[in-house]
DNA sequence: TGTTATTTTTAGACTAACCTAAATTTATTA
DNA sequence: TAATAAATTTAGGTTAGTCTAAAAATAACA
């Protein structure tokens, strides 16, 4: 039972959608993220259901089966390893690698993935701070908190973001807020909840509440 | 004007066929190497002709136009750079990388190719000794001689092979005849034209005429 | 040169993935 | 709860790439 390029994209989309928004994923959501039409999604859902990769009942939304989830995690593993490679070895910016990884994640060769993993030194997080699933598809579940939820005095390492638009990525670049950077919350201004961060070299960075919401801090990587 | 995965494979096949056997390439040859049927080939030839990537007249065989050749060379450049990467960085055997490179060569990103080239140190030859076209598609034309055409006393570096079957690749592996190895022809036995080679560390290797014919020596890489 | 054999092309059909437009089901709200 | 709105599915059609079987062109040879 082989999965096509397109099937893999659907499985990945469903995985991400069901991680974000609770449980059942609906047709329109999928159509949205895959840039396609609801009718096409329905066709594919029937097909994936026939292969037992999703549980699907007409009009009732959809969720991945265990084997569907396994496949999705394999794709995500590949995606994140490739992103790591592109940034660490080929010096791409972390905001430029997504589309390329989207192509590379479909290369079929378990051998390649594992060798790449070794070559890269078994990285645990991709350049956006998202955890890289291991060979068996296990994903390291880390507790991340949004910066907006921190209080003065809290500290941690920037480890992820909730928004992947290139405008936001460029904003982070400008503000010099990179994944892996250690920060301390110096103050939260009560008026508009602007957060004042202090970095290791003593610099101060002010960010709006809107931005703070989308930046995640990790306690695990310390 | 974008070229699909499949179109690229046809262009590459035509390129290789016209390099090997003189000029005009015929439908059946293409069908053979692409593992498809002549009828399918005809369909595609019409399509490629419409895009001005080949010169095609019914029943008369086919050849690449300049733009078709440019595209073919870009694919070949990618293929060979990926093979180099797989062997040099990920420690694959040079006889295992072909199928993988066949997938990777279709990744679309000029930026990626050039960064990879730089990362690898601008290699001139792939692990099979075939020259890697540069950015502009120029291929280094080197004079290669088959070992069977050498006389006692001649020396050079093993730089290519004319036969790519995995049985032959494994034979070379067993004999410890690797691309890049410096060899000297010590003697050619008149009886059956067995060639006795001497390697840099003083070892002797006997090869049959059949094998010698398929091994190429390069004067350029010295 | 005429006849057979081979190669190539056409004709017609299939599949995967997509689309639009219409029908149906579920959700919302007056 | 009936009526409207939104979401989803069905029906029918398109395109790229493939196939088989039959027809047409070229090549081989007696």
Nearest-nucleotide field for A38 (CA, C1'): D8
Q: For an interface test with B, which of A79, A86, A87 has the most B Cβ atoms less than 10 Å from its Cβ?
A: A86
Contacts of B195 (CB under 8 A, 6+ apart): B147, B148, B150, B185, B187, B188, B189, B206, B207, B208, B209, B212
B43 φ/ψ angles, rounded to the nearest 5 degrees: -55, -50
**Which letter does DSSP use for residue A53 in this model?**
S
pTM for this entry: 0.80
Closest residue of chain B to A82, computed from CA coordinates: B112
Asked if B100 lies within 8 A of A109 by C-beta distance, the reply is: yes
Strand D–CB A46 distance below 7 A: yes
B107-130: average pLDDT: 93
Rounded distance in angstroms from the CA atom of residue A44 to the C1' atom of nucleotide C15 = 14
A101/B contact by beta carbon, under 8 A: no
| pLDDT tens, residue by residue, B40-99 | 999 999 999 999 999 999 999 999 999 999 999 999 999 999 999 999 999 999 889 999
Kind plus residue range of the DSSP H or E element containing A62:
strand A62-64
CB-based contact (8 Å) between B112 and chain A? yes
Kindly state the greatest CA–CA separation across chain A.
Answer: 58
Least confident interval from A10-14, A26-30, A122-126: A122-126
Asked if the Cβ of residue A27 lies within 7 A of any atom of strand D, the reply is yes
Please, are residues A16 and A33 in contact by the beta-carbon 8 Å criterion?
Answer: yes
Q: Which nucleotide is nearest to B3 (CA to C1')?
A: D16
State whether residue A141 sits within 8 Å of chain B by CB.
no
Separation between the CA of A26 and the C1’ of D1 (whole angstroms): 27
Is A124's CB less than 7 Å from nucleic acid strand C?
no
- What is the distance in angstroms measured between the alpha-carbon CA of A211 and the sugar C1' of C23? 45
The two three-digit tokens of residue A44, written as one number: 């594919």
Q: Which residue is nearest to nucleotide D25 (CA to C1')?
A: B59
Q: Between chains, do A86 and B112 touch, taking CB under 8 Å as contact?
A: yes
Check residues A128 and B207 and name the one with the higher pLDDT: B207
Q: State which nucleotides on strand D lie below 7 Å from a protein beta carbon.
A: 7-12, 16-22, 25-26
Residues of B in contact with A83 (CB under 8 A): none
A90 vs B contacts (CB less than 8 Å): 112, 115-116, 119
Most confident of B95-99, B114-118, B189-193: B114-118
pLDDT digits (tens, 9 = 90+) for B194-222: 999 998 888 899 999 999 999 988 754 43
Q: Please provide the average confidence, as pLDDT, over all residues in chain B.
A: 90
Encode chain B in three state secondary structure. CCCCHHHHHHHHHHHHHHHHCCCCECHHHHHHHHCCCHHHHHHHHHHHHHCCCEEECCCCCEEECHHHHHHHHHHHHHHHHHHHHHHHCCCCCCCCCHHHHHHHCCCCCHHHHHHHHHHCCCCCECCCCCECCCCCCCCCCCCEEEHHHCCCCCEEEEEEECCCCHHHHHHHHHHCCCCCCEEEEEEECCCCCCEEEEECCCCEEEECHHHHHHEEEECCCC
State mean pLDDT over B12-30: 87
- List of chain B residues whose C-beta atoms are within 8 Å of the C-beta of residue A119: 89-90
For B112, the closest of A100, A112, A115 (CB atoms) is A100
Q: Of B5-19, B24-38, B158-172, which gets the smallest average pLDDT?
A: B158-172
CB-based contact, A114 to chain B, within 8 Å? no
Cβ pair B116, B142 in contact under 8 A? no
Does any CB of chain A come closer than 8 Å to the CB of residue B100? yes
Supply the pLDDT for residue A143. Answer: 65
Q: Is the CB of A123 under 7 A from strand D?
A: no
């Amino acid at each position: 039972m082989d999965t096509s390029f397109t099937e893999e994209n659907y499985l990945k989309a469903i995985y991400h959608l069901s991680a974000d928004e609770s449980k059942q994923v609906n047709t329109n959501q999928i159509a949205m993220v895959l840039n396609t039409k609801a009718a096409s999604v329905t066709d594919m859902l029937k097909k994936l259901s026939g292969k037992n990769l999703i549980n699907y009942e007409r009009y009732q939304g959809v969720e991945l089966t265990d084997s569907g989830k396994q496949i999705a995690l394999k794709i995500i593993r590949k995606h994140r390893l490739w992103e790591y490679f592109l940034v660490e070895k080929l010096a791409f910016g972390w905001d430029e690698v997504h589309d390329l990884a989207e192509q590379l994640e479909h290369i079929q060769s378990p051998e390649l993935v594992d060798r790449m993993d070794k070559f890269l030194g078994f990285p645990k997080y991709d350049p956006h701070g998202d955890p890289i699933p291991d060979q068996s598809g296990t994903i390291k579940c880390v507790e991340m908190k949004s910066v907006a939820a921190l209080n003065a005095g809290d500290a941690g390492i920037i480890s992820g973001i909730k928004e992947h638009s290139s405008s936001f990525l460029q904003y982070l670049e400008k503000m010099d807020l990179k994944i892996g950077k250690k920060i301390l919350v110096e103050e939260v201004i009560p008026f508009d909840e602007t957060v004042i961060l202090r970095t290791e070299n003593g610099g101060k960075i002010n960010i709006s509440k809107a931005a703070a919401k989308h930046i995640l801090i990790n306690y695990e990587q310390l």
